[in-house]
Chains A and B, each alone.
Chain A
């Protein structure tokens, strides 16, 4: 299945993706998926289209009140399907995908630690990558985070 066929299958199954899928180049497909439809699209890509390997999850703050989470899925190492979901700053939450991809665990902890995006359903465990005594509400990858912790409690180690 080539890039065009993958795009077409996604559009046939989810017509609302008609204008949302871009083939950037050979082996790189980007799809912007509405937040309320994301779980269904992700499940279909993993289970029905053999995009079973999760290479990484990228979280980012666009700086305009919208955050994005990009799931980089690959099909047997060859084609990368990048499923992007936009989140409003006052609704920063996604559901865990660990049921489909157990390897998502550590990437999802990173989303919570560095950007403050809540991952619903993520099992209890160690935080990653920040320290246990990192101040609450400080998310280093947010655009408005300047690293000045002077007014906050400064960890003693």
Chain B
């Protein structure tokens, strides 16, 4: 709860410490955070509603754009639900190829996170190194799918592109390069003072709080919750592959770093297994245009944790309802707990440590005045005054803050 005696600082929705629009209201006593609350929704684009007006095939491309980082996570989660309702048994080779792209996506996402974490603690060399290395996996994704971010590999009934012998070799070479680099980052995480001092004991989330607040993915696994949908509720080819679920009991940002580094090593291992075991055969089966009436819940271990899609069909070529619950929505509720009694300066790395993706979470509605057939264009001054009024209604009066600041100089 925010105490009226504390100083309240609004951070966001646009702020240099944040990579995406979200809004925090922080109560401070001195430099310490006494309470915080988060406001989301700035990226809400009405994708779930839009899905109901489009065919299942069109929806694959729409769903893939829920997120630019884990696009394959969402498209796979969606097609799995549709395939289940339609009773489609997709070819083994397609399952392996989905798994291959999934793990390559996890590698690029975790390396991206490691760079962001470095940046948030003022260690930009780490950002430069990891993002340089991340290009290796981005090139592989582009070579296999034709795209760096929205891969377009999934279709209902399987995948759209196969992999050839030369591409397999390129993938294996890339894994060797990235494994060497990741070992270096693991060594860095264990011995580099900058990382240890800035990450250990920061953003603490106890095991019980993580369970109570429903934390998922690396956020939960760094608080000792050894859950991973790939293991607990296997999909694609994961039931036939050997891998460990990485969990630690550090309960802090350092633990979340160790988990992601460990998961990178497991992903290299999984990619090699997929290439070695890749079954021969077709890569897709024909899917009906109209999907019989039914419903299914599909789960997927995205880089940030459990992704869940619910699909209900009505026998037509368009779904009746598509629900997307991205992992950040499950994890954001832990952030206030992590910030409790911490210093304001820790806030950027604590928020970044759940690897938030608010585009995923909010899934904008652009309003057009249909009578005048024009868009509403709002001048900058109107937005500024509206912002000041909005905060004043929330108890933050910039006019009085300005007076206080002037008086103190």
Instruction: Give the interface of A toward B (CB within 8 A).
Output: 24-25, 27-28, 30, 52-56, 58, 60, 62-63, 70, 72, 76-78, 80, 82, 101-103, 105-107, 125-132, 140-141, 145, 147-150, 154-157
Asked if B306 lies at the interface with its beta carbon under 8 angstroms from chain A, I say yes
**A130-B44, A154-B367 as given contacts; A103 in contact with B213, CB under 8 Å:** yes
Task: Check if A60 sits within 8 Å of B321, measured CB to CB.
Answer: yes
CA of A155 to CA of B390 in the docked complex: distance in angstroms? 14
Question: How far apart are A92's CB and chain B's nearest CB, in angstroms?
Answer: 16
Asked if B292 lies at the interface with its beta carbon under 8 angstroms from chain A, I say no
Question: How far apart are B25's CB and chain A's nearest CB, in angstroms?
Answer: 9
Task: Check if A157 sits within 8 Å of B310, measured CB to CB.
Answer: no
Question: How far apart are B35's CB and chain A's nearest CB, in angstroms?
Answer: 13
Question: How far apart are B167's CB and chain A's nearest CB, in angstroms?
Answer: 34
Task: Check if A102 sits within 8 Å of B333, measured CB to CB.
Answer: yes
Task: Check if B37 sits within 8 Å of A126, measured CB to CB.
Answer: yes
Asked if B232 lies at the interface with its beta carbon under 8 angstroms from chain A, I say yes
**A60-B312, A157-B383 as given contacts; A25 in contact with B84, CB under 8 Å:** yes
Some 22 contacts from A to B, beta carbons below 8 A apart, are A24-B296, A30-B295, A53-B214, A55-B299, A55-B325, A55-B330, A56-B308, A60-B312, A63-B320, A72-B310, A77-B228, A82-B297, A101-B214, A102-B213, A102-B333, A103-B333, A106-B332, A130-B41, A132-B390, A140-B46, A140-B365, A150-B371
Contacts of A140 in B (CB 8 A): 46, 49, 365
Question: How far apart are A137's CB and chain B's nearest CB, in angstroms?
Answer: 16
Partner among A60, A78, A128, A147 whose Cβ is within 8 Å of the Cβ of B232 = A78
Within 8 A of A (CB), among B314-348: 320-321, 323, 325, 329-330, 332-333
Contacts of B213 in A (CB 8 A): 102-103
Known: A102-B213, A102-B333. 17 other contacts (CB 8 A): A27-B233, A28-B297, A55-B325, A60-B320, A60-B323, A72-B308, A77-B229, A80-B299, A106-B333, A107-B329, A127-B41, A128-B41, A129-B362, A141-B48, A148-B370, A154-B367, A157-B382
Asked if B193 lies at the interface with its beta carbon under 8 angstroms from chain A, I say no
How extensive is the interface on chain B, given as a class? 35 or more
The 6 A-B pairs at the shortest CB distance, nearest first, are namely: A103-B214, A129-B41, A56-B325, A77-B227, A77-B232, A129-B44
Instruction: Give the interface of B toward A (CB within 8 A).
Output: 37, 39-41, 44, 46, 48-49, 84, 211-214, 227-229, 232-233, 295-297, 299, 306, 308, 310, 312, 320-321, 323, 325, 329-330, 332-333, 362-363, 365, 367, 369-371, 376, 378, 382-383, 386, 390
Question: How far apart are B313's CB and chain A's nearest CB, in angstroms?
Answer: 12
Task: Check if B40 sits within 8 Å of A129, measured CB to CB.
Answer: yes
Question: How far apart are A157's CB and chain B's nearest CB, in angstroms?
Answer: 5
CA of A25 to CA of B295 in the docked complex: distance in angstroms? 12
Question: How far apart are A2's CB and chain B's nearest CB, in angstroms?
Answer: 14
CA of A70 to CA of B297 in the docked complex: distance in angstroms? 11
Task: Check if A126 sits within 8 Å of B39, measured CB to CB.
Answer: yes
Question: How far apart are A147's CB and chain B's nearest CB, in angstroms?
Answer: 8
Question: How far apart are A104's CB and chain B's nearest CB, in angstroms?
Answer: 9
Task: Check if B212 sits within 8 Å of A102, measured CB to CB.
Answer: yes
Contacts of B367 in A (CB 8 A): 149, 154-155
Contacts of B214 in A (CB 8 A): 53-55, 101-103
**A60-B320, A129-B40, A140-B49 as given contacts; A154 in contact with B308, CB under 8 Å:** no
CA of A53 to CA of B208 in the docked complex: distance in angstroms? 12
Question: How far apart are A81's CB and chain B's nearest CB, in angstroms?
Answer: 10
Contacts of B312 in A (CB 8 A): 60
Contacts of B211 in A (CB 8 A): 52-53
Question: How far apart are B137's CB and chain A's nearest CB, in angstroms?
Answer: 27
Question: How far apart are A134's CB and chain B's nearest CB, in angstroms?
Answer: 9
Partner among A30, A58, A127, A148 whose Cβ is within 8 Å of the Cβ of B321 = A58
CA of A28 to CA of B325 in the docked complex: distance in angstroms? 17
CA of A53 to CA of B210 in the docked complex: distance in angstroms? 11
- Nearest to A80 among chain B residues (CB) is B297
Task: Check if B49 sits within 8 Å of A141, measured CB to CB.
Answer: yes
- Nearest to A128 among chain B residues (CB) is B41
Task: Check if A157 sits within 8 Å of B378, measured CB to CB.
Answer: yes
Partner among A54, A58, A154 whose Cβ is within 8 Å of the Cβ of B323 = A58
- Nearest to B312 among chain A residues (CB) is A60
CA of A148 to CA of B373 in the docked complex: distance in angstroms? 12
CA of A81 to CA of B332 in the docked complex: distance in angstroms? 23
Task: Check if B382 sits within 8 Å of A156, measured CB to CB.
Answer: yes
Task: Check if A76 sits within 8 Å of B227, measured CB to CB.
Answer: yes
Question: How far apart are B53's CB and chain A's nearest CB, in angstroms?
Answer: 10
Question: How far apart are A64's CB and chain B's nearest CB, in angstroms?
Answer: 11
CA of A55 to CA of B305 in the docked complex: distance in angstroms? 11
